Amino acid sequence: MTGRAVPSWRKRLERWQRRRAATPGGTFTVTNRTLYILPTAAGAGYALTLLVLWLLAINYSLSLGHALVFWLAAVAVMAIPATAASLRGVAIDVGEPEAVFAGERLRWPVMLRSEVARFRPLELTAPEAHAFAWLTPTEGSVRVFLEQDTERRGLVRLGRLVVATRHPFGWFRAWTVLWPTTSAWVYPRPEPDAPPWPATASLAEEAGAMSAGVRPGEEDFADLRPWRAGEPLRRVLWKIVARGGPRMLPRREGPAAGTVLLRWNDTAGADNVEARLSRLCAWVLGAHRQGLAFGVELPDGLMPPDRGESHLHAVLRRLALFPPEAA
Amino acid sequence: MNATAPIAPLLRGLKLLTGPLAGTAAAPLALALMLALGSQFNEFPLGIQAGIAVLAVVWFLRRRQETGPLTGWRLWLAGLACALGVRWQYGYWFGQEPGVALVALLVWLKWLETRSERDERMVAALALFLLTAVFLRGQTPLHALAVFAGAGLVLLACARLTLSSFQRLPTDQPARDAARTMAWAIPLALLLFVLVPRVPGPLWGLPADARAGKTGLSETLEAGSIAQLARSDEIAFVVEVQEGELPAARYWRGPVLEVYDGRSWKPSPWRAPNPALEATQGSAKVRYRSLQEPSDLPWIFTLERTHALSGAVEVERTSTGSWRARRPLLQRTRFTGEARFGEPLPEALTSTAIRALTFLPPQANPRTREAGEAIAREHLQPEARLEAIADFFRKRQLRYTLTPPPVARDSADAVLFDTHAGFCEHFADAFAVMARAAGLPARIVLGYLGGERNPANGTWIIRQADAHSWVEVWLAPHGWVRVDPTTFAQPERAERGLGEVLLEREGLPLLLRPEWRWAWRLRAQLEAWEYGWNVWVAGFDAERQHRLWRSLGWRPDRALGWALAATGMALALAALLAWWLQRPPTSRDPLERQWHRFCRLMARRGLARAPAEGPLDYGRRLMRHFPQASGEIEALLRPYLQARYGGGLATEEAAAAMRRALHQLRRRLRQEKSA
């Protein structure tokens, strides 16, 4: 952890809260067991104001002043259950966010539902993420995104999520703490201007000019596919249409005639593990963009060449989980 | 829609006026401040009024145009100007009046420099202070309405402030929740009002400039001082008779003036104990309660010959038989008194006292003195002298009027020998001077005479217009005898109201005129309600609280502990009530109720039913989680499904089966837990 010492009572408090927040099912519902409530600074200020007004009423024997102070105090007392009820019964589901590259923002989708129809303004706080959401009697569920900056690759969790409300007067804050178990993939950061992979990466039998991908103006019908309704017209090859042919598009995502094997050892030019992973990542993305079949050879194993989205993500996950100092 | 049609353009216009303020926390807060300051606006001096108005307008314009917060030297300069303005308007720094005025000005400055939610909450606190300060000016139902409405607006502002970080929030929802909480607080507030023990004030003493803000009898008598008051129909005090009957001539005694300097009469600073006062005589006994309006003086107006008096403040009886409090009666105060009348007020005067009470300044009123001395030469017996003076007054054919011709000096001479006209203070002054000249110790009593019975609640209302002055003369064997010289001019005045006996009604309050009886009756009803309010709400003090406790069977010496315990119980009850009010609505359908009990039980174990989950799916999920309890879960689900989805089972029967199954399930789950 960081250099700052975490006091032991905090750890103990967190352990206690974790025990209470543990849910067998996937959805976390705020109950009295997991709801905490304390006065806020505004509440303390309000109490001080009431004390002053009470002394004023006593000193001048203002019976109606007493009545006013007692009413204001009674409102504060009633605000405690009202604040708790604004949070109790909220079901919180943290979904899986889309995978991102390190340095991008993770968007954790948080689904909030309310079993009992009432107005609930909620404030969500997670490490370095903050969001506001509200439920109304007519809109019983809402999805908000907690945006979290990422720095390190890996499989990450949201961390300590606090859902709080100060409704209706702001004198009390009711909150609940949970540690969502859903996780998100953070892939290594692709190197911005990565050098091309070495020629030796292209596997021998298919080595050739194709590794550079489709060059504009040199398409032939083998690299084309028919246009489908809804696709952007600007990509249609009008030369063919002008010759009386059908609307055709260059086939970019289709299987390109090429296979590369991207090797860990080829990234030796980069300084450290992370930089090498970044370069590999950039190469993988480049190969995928060009529609090449690509494989990755890492010190701890080989991923055989393949194409497609699922292969890409499998490779990127592998890179994300690469042990930090394994080299 | 038609009903809202005329109001729609108005609302549109209002929205146009307020601009971006609409829907923000600032809007209700500004309204609350307007209520707080509007209710006491005419109590401020002109300069302060102008300052408040200017600052409010500046604040409004800057907020409306969304100009940023005011900072730097301009703010400091404005603050300094406010402080100096208050010093200039009041002439001193510290006191109740400049304090309230300063807060009334600074609250706008604070708001002008406001940046954060915390700052706005500070403004809300100041608004609450200014609202409470309204009660220093008066505690009528109207004041209460304005203040409580203002406080509600402040709380609404707090609710909006809480959500200021939320964008595009539906604005009516927070207001509705805040209003609901405020309404739920009312029963608890009532309990606290009755139960929380009142601390008798003042705690640190009132500031020197605390004023009652009302005009009443002063404690000196000069020509014209009462006639001025007779034009006011404000209430002086209200009397509720508890035992006995008030006499026909109802003289309410206030300060007794014994020191005469030729122009004015003043109370004697000399206060020797008067043991003769303790001897109660007279057979006619009256017990009464009076509720006296605030005044700047400590005098308590009591029925003549009141020998016992108690109230929420400390009272003492002066040597002249008047009652006074230790401090000015700045609050409306309630007293209980007992009077026995029918005999003169006994006192044995020493020769020094006789000399002091017959003293006249040598130059003043030469003609009256001469007449008095002539009577003294003719008659030896004090009774005979008194009778001779009365004869003298009767023969003068004095005219009783609210607007006597002005007299410069020697007022007794002027009234008796020149103008032959006057109001009660002129006659009292002349009579006392002549009696002293005739060697009879004489003094003037200030107070009220009469009062009318309110048919709506049977109380007696004594108004400022009933202010009166009369004379007491000491007759050697008996003591002090009351003589009302006004009766020589208008014999009926002693037992009838001013409006009925004055021939010229010019300058008399409209409602005292007999032809306005219908309005009088309406006002009587209003005043009866006001009396109830003053006694039960505005006048609910420590004494009244103790009396209420006693009537509930609490012994006052133990009442404090009881009150604290009861307050705690009230708080706990309120919390329970709130809990009950906040819980999910239960269904009236017995089947549904059992089903909800089941769902709640499971939700407590972290297995809440998803909104889209049907009973069958939910049941399956639960059985997977609690395989040991699957039999109980099934026993509970089957009757529910059968009754709900057509298995031919009656609702009542199914509900009973579910209840049994729920009981079993609960026991099974407990066993699981302990195992």
Contact B174 A170 (CB under 8 A): no
Say which amino acid occupies A240. I
pLDDT grade for A220, boundaries at 50, 70 and 90: very low
Cβ-Cβ contacts under 8 Å, A80 against chain B:
575, 578
pLDDT in tens, B71-87: 778 888 999 999 999 88
Report CA torsion sign: B49, B52, B58, B63: negative
User: Mind telling me how many Å the CA of B615 is from chain A's nearest CA?
Assistant: 16
pLDDT in tens, B407-428: 777 888 888 888 888 888 889 9
Q: Which of B174, B538, B611 sits opposite A167 (nearest CB)?
A: B174
More confident: B148 or B267:
B148
Q: Which of B579, B316, B27, B430 lies closest to A78 in space, CA to CA?
A: B579
User: Is the predicted pLDDT of residue B211 greater than 70, yes or no?
Assistant: no
Interface residue of A18, A31, A52, A169 to substitute, partner B, most B CBs within 10 Å: A169
C-alpha dist (Å) from residue A315 to A153, A286, B101: 13, 13, 74
pLDDT in tens, A138-180: 888 899 999 999 888 899 988 899 999 998 899 999 999 998 8
Nearest residue of A to residue B152 by CA position? A72
How high is the ipTM of this complex? 0.78
Residues A180 and A113 in one domain: yes
Lowest-confidence range among B205-214, B470-479, B595-604, B607-616? Answer: B205-214
Q: Which of A258, A293, A291 lies closest to A303 in space, CA to CA?
A: A293
Please state, in angstroms and rounded to a whole number, the distance separating the CA atoms of residues B607 and B599: 8
User: Is the predicted pLDDT of residue A217 greater than 80, yes or no?
Assistant: no
In a domain, A257, yes or no: yes
pLDDT grade for B397, boundaries at 50, 70 and 90: confident
CB neighbourhood size of A9 (10 A): 8
In a domain, A289, yes or no: yes
CB neighbourhood size of A249 (10 A): 18
Q: Which of B231, B206, B175, B248 lies closest to A169 in space, CA to CA?
A: B175
CB A173 within 8 A of CB A263: no
Q: Which of A207, A225, A223 lies closest to A215 in space, CA to CA?
A: A223
Rg (CA), chain A: 30
User: Is the predicted pLDDT of residue A318 greater than 80, yes or no?
Assistant: yes
User: Is the predicted pLDDT of residue A264 greater than 90, yes or no?
Assistant: no
Torsion, Cα of B146, B150, B153, B154 (10° steps): -170
Q: In this structure, what DSSP letter does residue B165 have?
A: T
Please state, in angstroms and rounded to a whole number, the distance separating the CA atoms of residues B268 and B274: 14
Please state, in angstroms and rounded to a whole number, the distance separating the CA atoms of residues A311 and A313: 5
pLDDT score at A254: 44
In a domain, A11, yes or no: no
Cβ-Cβ contacts under 8 Å, B132 against chain A:
53, 56-57, 62, 65, 68-69
Element spanning B225, H or E: helix B225-229
User: Mind telling me how many Å the CA of B673 is from chain A's nearest CA?
Assistant: 15
CB B112 within 8 A of CB B62: yes
User: Could you identify the residue written with the tokens 């003090």?
Assistant: B541
Torsion, Cα of B354, B357, B358, B362 (10° steps): 130
Q: Which of A62, A82, A166 sits opposite B135 (nearest CB)?
A: A62
User: Mind telling me how many Å the CA of B443 is from chain A's nearest CA?
Assistant: 36
Please state, in angstroms and rounded to a whole number, the distance separating the CA atoms of residues A128 and A120: 23
Lowest-confidence range among A235-249, A274-288, B204-218, B423-437? Answer: B204-218
The per-residue b/e assignment along B546-567, b for 16 or more CB within 10 angstroms, e otherwise, is beebeeeebeeeebeebbeebb
Q: Which of A60, A116, A134 sits opposite B166 (nearest CB)?
A: A134
CB A23 within 8 A of CB A155: no
Tell me the three state secondary structure of residue A80.
helix
pLDDT score at B590: 78
User: Could you identify the residue written with the tokens 């926390």?
Assistant: B25
User: Could you identify the residue written with the tokens 């007759």?
Assistant: B475
Q: What DSSP string describes B451-488? A: -EE-TTT--EEEEGGGEEEEEEEEETTTEEEEE-THHH
Residues A37 and A174 in one domain: yes
- Residues 56 through 75 of chain A touching chain B, CB cutoff 8 Å: 56-75
Q: Which of A112, A95, A9 lies closest to B611 in space, CA to CA?
A: A112
Element spanning A185, H or E: strand A183-187
In a domain, A12, yes or no: no
Q: Residue A176 is encoded by which pair of tokens?
A: 């609940």
Question: Which residues partner with B349 through β-bridges?
Answer: none
In a domain, A203, yes or no: yes
Contact A115 B128 (CB under 8 A): no
Q: How far is CA A204 from the centre of its chain?
A: 41
User: Mind telling me how many Å the CA of B138 is from chain A's nearest CA?
Assistant: 9
User: Is the predicted pLDDT of residue A122 greater than 80, yes or no?
Assistant: yes
CB B320 within 8 A of CB B276: no
Q: Which of B400, B419, B397, B399 lies closest to B408 in space, CA to CA?
A: B419
Residues A298 and A170 in one domain: no
Please state, in angstroms and rounded to a whole number, the distance separating the CA atoms of residues B620 and B627: 10
Cis amide linkage into residue A168, ω under 30° from 0: yes
Contact A170 B136 (CB under 8 A): no
Element spanning B315, H or E: strand B315-317
CB neighbourhood size of A100 (10 A): 18
CB B287 within 8 A of CB B451: no
The last residue of one of the domains, among A147, A171, A187, is A187
Please state, in angstroms and rounded to a whole number, the distance separating the CA atoms of residues B460 and B400: 25
Domain hosting A223: range is: 219-251
pLDDT grade for B587, boundaries at 50, 70 and 90: low
Report CA torsion sign: B588, B594, B597, B599: negative
pLDDT in tens, B610-655: 777 888 888 888 888 888 888 888 888 888 888 877 766 777 888 8
Q: Establish if A181 touches chain B: CB-CB under 8 angstroms.
A: no
The per-residue b/e assignment along B155-171, b for 16 or more CB within 10 angstroms, e otherwise, is bbbbbbbbbeebeebee
pLDDT score at A126: 92
Helices (H) and strands (E) in chain B, counts: 23, 17
Q: Which of A221, A227, A291 lies closest to A254 in space, CA to CA?
A: A291
For strand B442-449 and strand B251-260, is the pairing parallel, antiparallel, or unpaired?
antiparallel
pLDDT in tens, B97-140: 889 999 999 999 989 888 788 889 999 999 999 999 999 888 88
Say which amino acid occupies B9. P
Residues A125 and A256 in one domain: no
Residues A247 and A257 in one domain: no
Nearest residue of A to residue B608 by CA position? A29
For strand B421-422 and strand B399-400, is the pairing parallel, antiparallel, or unpaired?
parallel
pLDDT in tens, A89-108: 899 999 999 999 988 899 99
Question: Which residues partner with B256 through β-bridges?
Answer: B445
Residues A229 and A158 in one domain: no
Q: Which of A46, A68, A74 sits opposite B188 (nearest CB)?
A: A74
User: Could you identify the residue written with the tokens 């002053």?
Assistant: A52
Residues A147 and A195 in one domain: no
Residues A297 and A209 in one domain: yes
Tell me the three state secondary structure of residue B252.
strand
In a domain, A51, yes or no: yes
pLDDT score at B511: 60
The last residue of one of the domains, among A206, A233, A251, is A251
Cβ-Cβ contacts under 8 Å, A57 against chain B:
132, 135
User: Is the predicted pLDDT of residue B41 greater than 80, yes or no?
Assistant: yes
Tell me the three state secondary structure of residue A291.
coil
C-alpha angle A72/A78/A84, rounded to 5°?
135
Residues A267 and A289 in one domain: yes
Going across the sheet that includes A259-263, the strands are: A259-263, A293-298, A301-306
In a domain, A22, yes or no: no
Please state, in angstroms and rounded to a whole number, the distance separating the CA atoms of residues B116 and A133: 21
Residues A162 and A129 in one domain: yes
Please state, in angstroms and rounded to a whole number, the distance separating the CA atoms of residues B272 and B338: 23
C-alpha dist (Å) from residue B525 to A147, B237, B443, B497, B532: 68, 16, 39, 19, 11
User: Mind telling me how many Å the CA of B314 is from chain A's nearest CA?
Assistant: 14
Q: How far is CA B607 from the centre of its chain?
A: 57
pLDDT in tens, A274-286: 888 999 999 998 8
Q: Residue B441 burial (CB < 10 Å; 0-12/13-18/19+)? A: buried
Please state, in angstroms and rounded to a whole number, the distance separating the CA atoms of residues B577 and B579: 5
Number of domains in chain A: 3
User: Could you identify the residue written with the tokens 């500031």?
Assistant: B207
User: Is the predicted pLDDT of residue B148 greater than 90, yes or no?
Assistant: yes
CATH number of the domain to which A55 belongs = 2.60.40.10
pLDDT in tens, B548-581: 878 877 766 666 677 777 778 777 777 777 666 6
pLDDT score at B117: 86
The last residue of one of the domains, among A187, A202, A233, is A187
Please state, in angstroms and rounded to a whole number, the distance separating the CA atoms of residues B404 and B173: 67
C-alpha angle B565/B568/B570, rounded to 5°?
110
More confident: B568 or A25:
B568
Q: Which of B166, B181, B199 sits opposite A121 (nearest CB)?
A: B166
Nearest residue of B to residue A90 by CA position? B608
User: Could you identify the residue written with the tokens 């399956």?
Assistant: B620
User: Mind telling me how many Å the CA of B98 is from chain A's nearest CA?
Assistant: 16
CB neighbourhood size of B451 (10 A): 21
Q: How far is CA B600 from the centre of its chain?
A: 50
Contact B151 A59 (CB under 8 A): no
Residues A280 and A133 in one domain: no
pLDDT grade for B509, boundaries at 50, 70 and 90: low
CB B367 within 8 A of CB B417: yes
Q: What DSSP string describes B437-459? A: HTT--EEEEEEEE--EE-TTT--
User: Is the predicted pLDDT of residue B5 greater than 80, yes or no?
Assistant: no
Residues A169 and A275 in one domain: no
